[in-house]
Chains A and B, each alone.
Chain A
Amino acid sequence: AAGVIQSPRHLIKEKRETATLKCYPIPRHDTVYWYQQGPGQDPQFLISFYEKMQSDKGSIPDRFSAQQFSDYHSELNMSSLELGDSALYFCASSPQDPGTEAFFGQGTRLTVV
């Protein structure tokens, strides 16, 4: 069965650089979520999209932006990277039904040096 695809799986960037993470949701899932998980921490909700519109916003820094495209894939753009941005970034998708579980990708591990 198709799963949520994230790319790249690993990314190393220097401070002040820019990074773009991509997420391809499960077909027919119209909702995408982004989470950040620091070392030893729980996943922190960043932002979500429903039908290409931002639906909710969590603890996403102003240096980050995201969007969902017409084919429902989503991109998380991160600028002026800081050491503290090093984390595992998860994308999840689900149908627009709050009673349906989210399906998570394998994550992108971002290391800022």
Chain B
Amino acid sequence: AQSVAQPEDQVNVAEGNPLTVKCTYSVSGNPYLFWYVQYPNRGLQFLLKYITGDNLVKGSYGFEAEFNKSQTSFHLKKPSALVSDSALYFCAVRDSNTGGFKTIFGAGTRLFVKA
């Protein structure tokens, strides 16, 4: 069965500093990995994804994520955090063996960026 873990409930970082939001996954087939962001009372917005190819993927708003197959991780990163990045971040995975109809989300990590 597929699963996603986000080990940190909350990440605090100062504006201008680099940020990392951690995610590990478990699937039986090849993983399709996604990051979404959720602002208060809003739907989830897609940030970036890894399907195949380069392990480092770049997405919206300056975010990037690195796929590490040996560590089964897909950590979200940004070189310089902005206050406006404060939101709830969800890692998600689809398992190629299930045909991709079910996306499983992690518990979410709340990012606080202080000015």
Q: A99-B32, A107-B43 are in contact. Are A56 and B101 (CB under 8 A)?
A: yes
A37 to chain B, nearest CB (A): 9
Q: Are B102 and A45 in contact (CB under 8 A)?
A: yes
Contacts of B94 in A (CB 8 A): 98
| Chain B: interface residue total (CB-CB under 8 A) | 26
In the complex, the answer to whether B99 meets A98 with C-beta atoms within 8 Å is: yes
Interface residue B87 (Cβ < 8 Å from any Cβ of A)? no
Nearest CB in chain B to that of A104: its residue: B43
Q: A87-113, CB under 8 A of B: which get 1 and which 0?
A: 000101000011101111111010000
Taking CB atoms and an 8 Å cut-off, the chain A residues in 28-63 that contact chain B are: 31, 33, 35, 41-45, 48, 50, 55-56, 58
Of all chain B residues, which has the CB nearest A31? B101
Asked whether any CB of chain A lies closer than 8 Å to the CB of B25, the reply is no
B13 at the binding interface (Cβ < 8 Å): no
Q: Do the beta carbons of A55 and B32 come within 8 Å of each other?
A: no
**Which listed residue, B46, B105, B106, touches A103 by the CB 8 Å rule?**
B46
A50 contacts B101, C-beta separation under 8 Å: yes
Q: Which chain A positions have C-beta within 8 A of B49?
A: 99, 101
The complex places the Cα of A86 from the Cα of B41 at a distance, in Å, of: 14
The residues in B between 26 and 53 inclusive whose CB is less than 8 angstroms from any CB of A are 32, 34, 36, 41-46, 49, 51-52
A-binding residues in B (CB < 8 A): 32, 34, 36, 41-46, 49, 51-52, 90, 94, 96, 98-108
> Can you name 10 A-B residue pairings with CB atoms under 8 Å?
A35-B105, A42-B108, A56-B101, A98-B94, A98-B99, A101-B34, A102-B46, A102-B103, A103-B46, A104-B44
